[in-house]
Chain A
Amino acid sequence: MSSSSTTTTTTRLLMLKASDGVTFEVEEAVATKLGAINNMVEEEGSEDLICLPNVNGKFLGMVLEWCKKHANNNTNSDKGNDEVNKWWDKEFVMDLDQNTLYHLLMAADYLSGTELVDLLTEKVASMIRGKKVEEIRETFKIKSDFLPGQEEEIRKKNSWAFE
């Protein structure tokens, strides 16, 4: 076990093991962008190998890719970093299909990656905004499970929202 300092200047490497056995060697400063990893690392005598049974390798890789970009951008000179991060975030979520979006969001939530959860929920929100009820159902393949008349009642109650 290497000495465990929690400052961001250490180059301690962590080994993250996904549910399917895929492992990632990541700098501590990158992995600790995830709250769950940060908590584990802060425990005294923590192991360098961290098993994450709820995330598979594909999505853990994507989460870590995001962490790495943000960790790098944040250590560069300050000005313009927000812009760089924003641009990169936009690219990151641009072409995600719903399957990937779902698994990434679940992974980010499980790993307490608050900023990433924010980014992904914002992406989903953008897929809802301004859409009609039928369009939302179509977008997310949701089947209505209302009893006859129930939907009408909801529409009537807040008719301004359905104008």
Chain B
Amino acid sequence: MEHQENQVEQFHDHDITMSYFSALPEELISLILSKTSARDACRFSAVSSQFRSATESDLVWEKFLPSNYSEIISRCDSTFASKKHFYLSVFQSTIYLDNDTKVRRITQVEKCFMGCNPKASM
């Protein structure tokens, strides 16, 4: 197999000053972000508005959730617009489970136990 010996790049589709990353299809950008962390994905959403839908994608955020997340969602008293919304709700505000009149909050300890604490090392 021949390859690599041709050092002269001949690409007509992209200018050298242009960002190759920006030219990637949205699904690939989401796949890439799903391999980072919640913190990285949040930071990435502040890079440029062109990546908005790629960074909001459920494909990205479900990777940051524990494997039993759908069970937790089904026990929640509120609904969530997206996996990102659910993830951030768990860590930034109080969520209520099981329609409990005593108001059962997910505590910080449980959040850690769920394995998706964004403050933990990632």
Residues of chain A at the chain B interface (Cβ within 8 Å): 22, 24, 26, 57-58, 61-62, 64-65, 68, 98-99, 101-103, 105-106, 109, 117, 121-122, 124-125, 128-133, 136-137, 140-146, 150-151, 154-155, 158, 160-162
Q: Is the CB of B28 within 8 A of A141?
A: no
Q: Name the distance in Å between B118's Cβ and chain A's nearest Cβ.
A: 7
Question: How far is A158 from B93 in the complex, measured between Cα atoms in Å?
Answer: 12
Question: How far is A109 from B24 in the complex, measured between Cα atoms in Å?
Answer: 11
Select one of A24, A143, A161 contacting B39, CB under 8 A: A161
Q: Is the CB of B19 within 8 A of A158?
A: no
Q: Is the CB of A140 within 8 A of B20?
A: yes
Q: Is the CB of A133 within 8 A of B47?
A: yes
Question: How far is A128 from B1 in the complex, measured between Cα atoms in Å?
Answer: 32
A-B contact pairs, 20 of them (CB 8 A): A61-B3, A98-B20, A98-B21, A105-B28, A117-B28, A121-B35, A124-B32, A125-B32, A128-B36, A131-B40, A133-B43, A136-B43, A136-B47, A140-B19, A141-B20, A141-B21, A154-B45, A155-B46, A161-B118, A162-B46
Query: How many B residues touch A, CB cutoff 8 Å?
Result: 41
A-B contact count (CB 8 A): 115
Interface of A is mostly: helix
Q: Is the CB of A117 within 8 A of B49?
A: no
Q: Is the CB of B28 within 8 A of A109?
A: yes
Q: Is the CB of B88 within 8 A of A158?
A: yes
Question: How far is A58 from B5 in the complex, measured between Cα atoms in Å?
Answer: 9
